[in-house]
Structure 1
Amino acid sequence: MHTASVFVELGSIILVLGLLGRLAARYGFSPIPLYLLGGLAFGHGGLLPLSASGEFVATGAEIGVVLLLLMLGLEYTAADLVTNLKAQYPAGAVDFLFNAVPGAAAALLLGWGPVAAVVLAGVTWISSSGVIAKVLGDLGRLGNRETPVILSILVLEDLAMAVYLPILTALLAGAGLLAGSITLAIALATAGGVLFVALRYGRLISRFVSHKDPEKLLLVVLGLTLLVAGIAQQLQVSAAVGAFLVGIALSGEAAEGAHTLLSPLRDLFAAVFFVFFGLSTNPASIPPVLLPALALAVVTALTKVATGYWAARRAGIAVHGRWRAGGALVARGEFSIVIAGLAVTAGIEPGLGPLATAYVLILVVTGPLAARYTQPAVERLGELGASLRRVPRRKPAAGPPAVPTAGAGAGAGGLLEPDLGPVLEPALALDFEASASRDDPVGGPYRS
């Protein structure tokens, strides 16, 4: 009976996802907000709460994040990654200042203390790599000039998590300086080791993985990705970072074949991830913290747009691409929830969990919309401002016309020139008749 319940619930979820995806495609926008709202409807406190398939959905959600970052890594080589990181590390510093500081300030204003300030700074700082990867794919922007800038910022954030999460874990556990330093050193060594292997031995890995049989290629790539992601997670590095670096390491035929084979799996498990996020949220916990969460979301959405605009401008991207880069970075998601979950488990502040959940839910819904409409909205405002500047001002009312006096011609000092109408009218009439005679095949002036 339990298996039958799992099948019924999973079938219902997947069917609803398909229908919501069709609805989003019909109106030309990303299906992510609908997936999240569907998760809220199926979650605890929703309209149709699910119970039997919860564990499977949670595991599928984690696989979805891993596959999203793997497919993102397949788009770029290790050399591209290093080049972008070298070029964009100042953007990472600006990203931290613009987006972590508002979260820390909000926690201090609410009287939650310094540890909660560190937690909320991480929640507002880190964009959702999973959501952004999905949105860029849905909008067909993976080949845009601003996309490497966006990816560089996301990778810098994910790599920064290798430093941030061990520090946060030590703070929440009250660990000493030595224990926290050891955890941090292990995390940094793991991330650096995976990146070194991807750079140095990427061709050998691609040659080992590559195979003409699609089945064997799929199994090897998927198994290697999950293995590296799991090891990275065990060593306090994000599983998403591990999956991304596996994608970076693959190139050539292996990358092309893996991209083709894994695209349907990515779409399925990515949809499950967004549903799971909604499932884990109790709708009743959102209204009490909605106003502060909304205020914080508005501020940090603007700071993310400013971050993307600044980074894209620094990279020499045109104005339209700058606004697209800023809008694409707005969404928060998986990392923010993980950070808030650590704080809730440690019992730091009761209001922190609901606030973080409402905040992430707002931005994970509005993020895809910001990615799509930031540039058109800015252009429309620019056109409106230009049209307002072109509105002619009212001229002052003219006085009574001057009346020429006798001798008002040249040399008389009058206000008007002499009236030449009586002289010019006969000459103009003769000229018109002559030109009409040349154009009219009959020989006379043209008549209608």
Structure 2
Amino acid sequence: MHSSAVFLIEFGCIILVLGLLGRFAGRFRFSPIPLYLLAGLAFGNGGLLPLGSSEEFVAIGAEIGVILLLLMLGLEYTASDLVTNLKTHYPAGLVDALLNALPGAALALLLGWGPVAAVVLAGVTWVSSSGVIAKVLGDLGRLGNRETPTVLSILVLEDLSMAVYLPILTALLAGTGLASGSVTLAIALGAAALVLVLAVRYGRHISRFVSSDDPEKLLLVVLGLTLLIAGLAQQLHVSAAVGAFLVGIALSGEVADGAHSLLAPLRDLFAAVFFVFFGLNTDPASIPPVLLSALALAAVTACTKIATGYWAAKRAGIAAKGRWRAGGALVARGEFSIVIAGLAVAAGVEPSLGPLATAYVLILVLLGPLTARYTEPLATRLLRHRRAQLAAKPDDTTPLTASAHETISDQDAVGHA
């Protein structure tokens, strides 16, 4: 009885604190993710108020949080949307992976953490935060801008890539051999391909089977089906998150819309618990030793994300100002980076990886809204200054480079595009 009372008090305090932090973040219009991570650091070992009785329940809630995050992500897309994006924008996805995964992998190898940690940190630095970016674009009134479909396409490709990346990571973290890892990857890819085919051809029938006019029954069926598929996927050594993502893709139409509205509060609750749980597993004293590495990695990958967005928008025929806006919007990292790092922390890959990922996400989830807002005006000002310098030297016979010609003509042509 006493332990039950202590559990209720502890868990109630956690939820209350998260609610107050979320309200605080909403008032100032920024993502609550860094505040949730800080709350986890405060409640964890080495923090201000270490937990006792409720930690095991928080761990289960965190796992459900990951599953719901991926389910809701899958509900955002139809199978045909994913196939279309893959065919049209795959070059941008390849550039995105190359520019942003390599810095993380390189840092892990330079620190002597080994190849498995390199694969983990590559994923942490690769994937932008869909949730943070969507919120920022909405707050800035850019959802109707010409560059926004390019930004969203990159996010979709990153999400789809996770269906391949997470099974590979799961096999590596489990320490399975090449043959077993290949079987796991084949199962994951086969399942993903099968779900896409079924969703394209029989999506209406699947949705009709799940559909219900009663919100309670719809919630129970979708949530139960998701947890079941996630559990089966994990039993096959495929990430439970991938299973949840595929369930979301398979549902479409009114069912997807209804399930999205019903599950959103649950997603928000358990996702917040997940971020707290990740913080619980990170000793605050372990962050200062990796802070410089996190700052350097954040600076490099902020620049590579800006370059990714600029290149993708240029390829889509967007004018120069829109290219800079697209690049600045992609900088924020968040939920997926923590999910990936959380898998590695649970597997005990490298003690310093969790603190580094925590500091890295904290930096970029705060920096992301700033780069989204100020990258384009800052770049425009710098380019105008450069143009003024070039114009002030009429006697200079040195020919302009092709990039300088392009920059000047872009700035002359775009206006407020």
* Length-normalised TM-score, structure 2: 0.81
CA shift for structure 1 position 325: 5.3
State the Cα distance separating 1:264 from its structure 2 match: 1.4
Task: Return the alpha-carbon distance in structure 2 between the equivalents of residues 50 and 279 of structure 1.
Answer: 9
Contact 2:39 2:276 (8 Å CA) reproduced: yes
Matched with 1:197 is 198
Matched with 1:207 is 208
Aligned ranges 1:161-172 → 2 under 5 Å: 161-162=165-166, 164-165=168-169, 168-169=172-173, 172=175
Residue in 2 aligned with 1:26?
27
Question: What residue is the counterpart of 1:289 in the other structure?
Answer: 290
Unaligned runs of 5+ in 2: 393-417
Which residue number in structure 1 is paired with residue 111 of structure 2?
110
- Could you say if the C-alpha distance between residues 276 and 338 of structure 1 is closer, same or farther in structure 2, counting changes exceeding 3 Å? closer
Partner of 2:414: none
Structure 2 partner of 1:218: 219
Q: Higher RCO, 1 or 2 (CA under 8 Å, sep at least 6)?
A: 2
**AA partner of residue 130 (structure 2):** I
The answer to whether the 8 Å contact 2:342/2:354 transfers is: no
Aligned partner letter, 1:152 = V
Cα distance, 1:334–1:11 mapped onto 2, change above 3 Å: same
Question: In the aligned structure 1, how far is the partner of 2:229 from the partner of 2:311?
Answer: 34
Measure, in 2, the Cα distance between the counterparts of 1:126 and 1:289.
15
Cα distance change on mapping 1:44 and 1:281 into 2, 3 Å: same
Q: What amino acid does structure 1 have at the position aligned with 2:118?
A: L
Offset at residue 369 of structure 1 (A):
2.8
Checking the alignment, whether the CA contact within 8 Å between 2:96 and 2:305 is kept in structure 1 is yes
Kindly indicate whether the alpha-carbon contact (under 8 Å) linking 1:44 and 1:282 is maintained by their aligned counterparts in 2: yes
Correspondence for 1:314: 315
Give the letter aligned to residue 344 of structure 2. A
Q: CA deviation at 1:382?
A: 3.2
**Length, aligned pairs only:** 381
Per-residue deviation, 1:205? 1.1
Write the distance in 2 (CA, Å) between the matches of 1:386 and 1:167.
Answer: 47
Q: Which residue number in structure 2 is paired with residue 96 of structure 1?
A: 97
Instruction: Tell me the SS of whatever aligns to 1:323.
Output: helix
Structure 1: gaps of 5 or more residues: 346-351, 394-448
Structure with a larger share of its residues in helix: 2
Greater shift, 243-252 or 318-327, is seen at: 318-327
> Who wins on radius of gyration, i.e. which is larger?
1
SS in 2 for 1:8: helix
Q: Is the 8 A contact 1:88 1:149 kept in 2?
A: yes
- Compute the displacement of 1:128 (Å): 8.1
* C-alpha separation in 2, matches of 1:181 and 1:327: 36
Q: State the alpha-carbon separation in 2 of the partners of residues 82 and 367 from structure 1.
A: 30
Q: TM (normalized to structure 1)?
A: 0.76
Cα distance between partner residues in 2 of 1:230 and 1:138: 34
2: CA distance, partners of 1:47 / 1:80: 46
**Aligned-pair CA distance for 1:55:** 1.6
Deviation at 1:151, TM superposition (A): 2.7
Shift of 1:77: 1.4
Q: 1:168 corresponds to which letter in structure 2?
A: L
Structure 1 residues 384 and 64, CA, compared in 2 at 3 Å: closer, same or farther?
A: same
Give 1:257's aligned amino acid.
Answer: G
What pairs up with 1:308-347 in 2 under 5 angstroms? 308-317=309-318, 319-320=321-322, 323-324=325-326, 327-331=329-333, 333-338=337-342, 340-341=344-345, 344-345=348-349
